[in-house]
C-alpha cells in the first residue's frame, strides 16, 4: 500500500521536481518507508512506499523494467502475482508484485495483465519509448485515484491534497457536491468536492499520449448475470461458496509484515477472523472498539477466545471522538461520510503498534443482501403498489438525508441528482427490481465504504484488505447463488404474513438476510454470533445531540451553501428524524471541511 503521484505537462514547468517532492511529502502517511521520483522530460512520477511484500530497498518505486522502457508507480496489492509470474519469461531481480506488473505488461500487454490480476490497485505506467501513460484503477475502486486536467497539465494522485500540493491547482469548492453528499454520504465518481478534480471510475484505465489525447477503456463491470432460479441444490452451493470465500481470504494473507483482523463480533468480521486464524500458523491480532454507551465487546471476546487470538479492546470517549473529527477530514479531503470513520481511524492507529495489514469485512452486506429492510424494497413495492416507479420508491428509502429536507435547507444546485436519477431510472428499466438493488449497492453504495476504509487505515500507515470484494467472489455470487439463498423467508407462510406490513416490521423476523453466509458461518462460529440481530457500528450521536447543536450554532450560520436563517429550523427538523444526530453531524461536516480547504491559496 502506497501513495502515487504523476505530473505531465505539455510545456516546461518550473520546479517540477520540487513540486512532485511536495506531493510525495503530503502522502507520507500512505508510505512512510521510502520515497522516490522518476523524470523524463516533462513527465515526473512520484511514490511513497509502505513496505508489505519484499521489504528490501530493491523493491522501492518508481520501478523500471529491465530494458528501462516501462516505469511504474503502484498503490495496492496483486494477490495472485506468483501465479501470473509463472506465465512470464522475465529476468526478475525482486520478489515483489510490482515487478510482476512490469514484466507482464512488457511481455503480454496491459489488457492481458489486467485480465489476470486479482487485487486492489491504482497504477501509473509510463512507456518512455512510445511516450504513453496508462492510469489503471481496480475493478471495485478499492484504491483511490484522482486527477486534474486543464489541457496543459495532467496531474494524478492517490489523494486530492497531493494534487493541491503541486502548486498548480486552485482549490474551488464544488457546490454541486453538497446535495450529492447529503444523499449518499459521499460523492459518486467521477465528481469530488473540488471543481475540476475528478475520480477515475473503477474498472477502467486511461491511455494518454504525448499530445494529451486520452482514451478511456472499461475492462470490468458488475456481472450481467443474476441468479433468480428456484431450482437449486443448497448443500452443493454452500460447499462451493465455502471454497470461494476461503480462496478470497487466503489470497489476502500474503504479507511479509504482521497481519491481523478487525473483529466487531458480527458475522462478517468473525468469519474473516475464523478463516484467517485457521490458515495462519502464528497467533493473529484482532481489534475491536466501542463506547461506554454502546459496544460489542462481549461478542468479539467469544470469537477471540474460540480462535485464541491476541485480542485488543479499545474504549473510546466522547472527547476522543470530537478531538479527532477535524483532523480526519484533513486526511480524507472530503467531509466524513459515516460517524464510525472516527473510531475506525483511532483503532487503526492503535493496531499500527503491532501490525501493518488488516482484513476488514466491507462488502459482505452488498454480496449477500445484508441490509434486509432496503433489500426487501422490491417485495414492499409489489405489496404496497404505490403510484410511482420502483426507482423513486427505492431511492426514497435509500437517500440518507431525505430529498424534501435537502430542498428545504440547502441553496446549491441539484444537477448531479438529476444526472444520476436519469441514468439509474434508465438502468432500472432493463432488469428485475431485485437485480437492480444488488447492482446499485455494488456499483454505488460500497464505494462510500471503500473511501472510509482507505482513509481510516492509510492515515495510520496501515493496509486494509477486503476479501468480500474479491471480484471472482462477486462473479460467483451473481452467477451461482440464487436470490432466494441471499434473502430467505423463514417459513412457507412467512412471505404471506409479511404482506401485512413492510420491511421495517418483518425484516430479520420473517426473513433471514445473508442466509447462505449465515449458513456457512455455522461451520466456523458459535450460534449466538450468527443468530443475533444486525446492529452495524453505531456511534451514539443522538445521545450527544447537545454537543452537535452547539457546533451547528457555531459553524452553520457562516455556511454559504445553506439557505439564510435556517440553522434553528435545521436543528429542530433534525430532531424529528430517526437519524437526528447523524443528519446534523453531516451538515456540520461540510462546513468543517470547507473551512480547512478553501480559505488558503494553494498555488505557488
389-430 pLDDT, tens digit each: 999 999 999 999 999 999 999 999 999 999 999 999 999 999
149-171 in b/e burial notation, b at 16+ Cβ within 10 A? beeebbbbbbbbbbbbbbbbbeb
Q: Is 374 marked within a binding site?
A: no
Percent of the chain with pLDDT over 90: 88
* pLDDT of 535: 67
Q: What is the mean pLDDT of the chain?
A: 95
- Within 8 A by CB and 6+ apart from 543, the residues are 293, 581
Dist CA 419 CA 188 (whole Å): 11
Q: Is 97 marked within a binding site?
A: yes
Cell matching residue 560? 454559504
564-574 in b/e burial notation, b at 16+ Cβ within 10 A? eebbeebbebb
Segment 125-141, tens digit of pLDDT: 999 999 999 999 999 99
* pLDDT of 301: 97
* pLDDT of 202: 98
pTM confidence score: 0.96
Dist CA 153 CA 43 (whole Å): 10
Pick the catalytic residue from 1, 2, 23, 274.
2
The reply to whether 207 belongs to the active site is no
Dist CA 270 CA 276 (whole Å): 10
Using the predicted structure, report yes or no on whether residue 54 has a pLDDT greater than 90: no
| Over residues 164-179, mean pLDDT | 98
Cell matching residue 106? 512488457
Q: Is 560 marked within a binding site?
A: no
Dist CA 278 CA 144 (whole Å): 31
* pLDDT of 34: 94
Which band of pLDDT confidence, cut at 50, 70 and 90, is reported for residue 1? low
Instruction: Determine which helix (DSSP H) or strand (DSSP E) holds 135, and give its type and residue range.
Output: strand 132-137
* pLDDT of 537: 60
Dist CA 264 CA 316 (whole Å): 14
Q: Is 289 marked within a binding site?
A: yes
Q: Which residues pair with 378 in a beta bridge?
A: none
- Identify whether the C-beta of residue 228 lies closer than 8 Å to the C-beta of residue 236: no
Cell matching residue 108? 503480454
Q: State the alpha helices, DSSP H only, in 459-566.
A: 471-480, 494-498, 503-506, 515-521, 527-530, 545-555
Dist CA 527 CA 525 (whole Å): 6
Segment 254-312, tens digit of pLDDT: 998 899 999 999 999 999 999 999 999 999 999 999 888 788 899 999 999 999 999 99
Instruction: Determine which helix (DSSP H) or strand (DSSP E) holds 9, and give its type and residue range.
Output: strand 2-9
Segment 448-505, tens digit of pLDDT: 999 999 999 999 999 999 999 999 999 999 999 999 999 999 999 999 999 999 999 9
* pLDDT of 409: 96
Helix, strand, coil % in the chain, rounded to nearest 5: 45, 15, 35
* pLDDT of 403: 96
Amino acid at each position: 500500500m502506497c501513495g502515487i503521484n504523476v505530473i505531465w505537462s505539455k510545456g516546461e514547468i518550473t520546479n517540477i521536481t520540487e513540486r512532485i517532492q511536495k506531493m510525495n511529502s503530503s502522502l507520507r502517511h500512505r508510505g512512510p518507508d521510502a520515497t522516490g521520483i522518476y523524470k523524463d522530460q516533462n513527465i515526473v512520477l512520484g511514490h511513497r512506499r509502505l513496505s508489505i511484500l519484499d521489504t528490501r530497498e530493491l523493491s522501492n518505486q518508481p520501478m523500471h523494467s529491465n530494458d528501462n522502457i516501462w516505469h511504474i508507480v503502484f498503490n495496492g496489492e496483486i494477490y495472485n502475482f506468483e501465479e501470473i509470474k509463472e506465465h512470464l519469461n522475465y529476468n526478475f531481480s525482486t520478489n515483489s508484485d510490482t515487478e510482476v506488473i512490469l514484466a507482464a505488461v512488457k511481455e503480454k500487454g496491459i489488457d492481458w495483465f489486467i485480465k489476470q490480476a486479482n487485487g486492489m490497485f491504482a497504477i501509473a505506467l509510463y512507456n518512455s519509448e512510445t511516450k504513453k501513460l496508462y492510469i489503471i484503477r481496480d475493478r471495485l475502486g478499492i484504491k483511490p485515484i484522482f486527477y486534474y486536467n486543464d489541457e496543459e497539465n495532467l496531474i494524478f494522485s492517490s489523494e486530492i491534497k497531493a494534487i493541491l500540493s503541486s502548486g498548480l491547482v486552485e482549490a474551488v469548492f464544488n457546490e454541486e457536491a453538497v446535495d450529492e453528499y447529503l444523499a449518499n454520504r459521499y460523492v459518486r465518481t467521477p465528481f469530488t468536492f473540488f471543481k475540476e478534480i475528478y475520480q477515475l471510475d473503477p474498472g477502467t484505465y486511461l491511455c494518454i499520449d504525448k499530445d494529451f489525447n486520452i482514451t478511456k477503456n472499461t475492462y470490468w463491470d458488475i456481472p450481467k448475470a443474476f441468479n433468480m432460479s428456484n431450482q437449486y441444490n443448497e448443500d452443493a452451493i454452500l460447499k462451493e461458496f465455502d471454497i470461494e470465500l476461503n480462496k478470497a481470504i487466503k489470497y489476502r494473507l500474503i504479507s511479509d509484515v504482521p497481519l491481523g483482523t478487525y473483529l466487531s463480533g458480527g458475522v462478517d468480521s468473525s468469519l474473516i477472523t475464523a478463516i484467517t486464524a485457521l490458515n495462519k500458523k502464528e497467533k493473529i491480532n484482532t481489534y475491536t472498539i466501542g463506547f461506554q454507551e454502546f459496544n460489542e465487546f462481549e461478542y468479539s471476546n467469544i470469537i477471540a477466545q474460540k480462535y485464541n487470538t491476541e485480542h485488543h479492546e479499545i474504549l473510546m470517549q466522547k472527547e476522543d471522538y470530537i478531538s479527532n473529527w477535524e483532523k480526519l477530514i484533513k486526511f480524507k479531503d472530503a467531509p466524513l461520510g459515516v460517524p464510525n470513520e472516527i473510531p475506525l481511524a483511532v483503532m487503526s492507529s492503535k493496531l499500527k503498534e503491532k501490525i501493518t495489514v488488516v482484513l476488514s469485512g466491507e462488502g459482505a452486506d452488498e454480496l449477500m443482501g445484508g441490509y434486509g429492510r432496503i433489500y426487501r424494497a422490491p417485495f414492499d413495492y409489489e405489496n404496497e403498489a404505490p403510484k410511482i416507479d420502483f426507482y423513486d420508491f427505492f431511492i426514497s428509502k435509500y437517500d440518507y438525508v431525505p430529498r424534501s429536507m435537502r430542498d428545504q435547507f440547502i441553496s446549491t444546485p441539484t444537477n448531479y441528482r438529476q444526472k444520476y436519477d436519469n441514468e439509474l431510472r434508465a438502468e432500472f428499466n432493463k432488469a428485475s427490481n431485485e437485480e437492480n438493488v444488488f447492482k446499485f449497492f455494488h456499483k454505488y453504495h460500497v464505494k462510500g465504504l471503500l473511501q472510509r476504509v482507505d482513509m481510516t487505515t492509510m492515515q495510520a500507515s496501515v493496509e486494509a484488505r477486503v476479501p468480500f470484494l474479491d471480484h471472482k467472489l462477486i462473479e460467483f455470487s451473481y452467477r451461482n447463488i440464487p436470490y432466494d439463498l441471499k434473502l430467505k423467508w423463514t417459513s412457507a407462510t412467512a412471505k404471506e404474513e409479511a404482506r401485512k406490513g413492510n420491511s421495517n416490521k418483518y425484516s430479520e423476523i420473517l426473513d433471514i438476510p445473508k442466509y447462505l453466509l449465515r449458513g456457512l458461518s455455522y461451520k466456523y462460529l458459535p450460534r449466538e454470533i450468527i443468530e443475533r440481530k444486525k446492529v452495524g457500528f453505531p456511534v451514539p450521536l443522538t445521545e450527544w445531540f447537545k454537543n452537535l447543536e452547539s457546533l451547528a450554532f457555531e459553524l452553520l450560520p457562516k455556511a454559504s451553501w445553506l439557505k439564510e436563517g435556517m440553522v434553528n429550523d435545521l436543528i429542530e427538523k433534525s430532531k424529528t428524524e430517526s437519524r437526528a444526530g447523524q443528519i446534523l453531524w453531516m451538515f456540520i461536516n461540510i462546513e468543517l471541511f470547507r473551512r480547512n480547504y478553501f480559505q488558503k491559496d494553494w498555488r505557488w
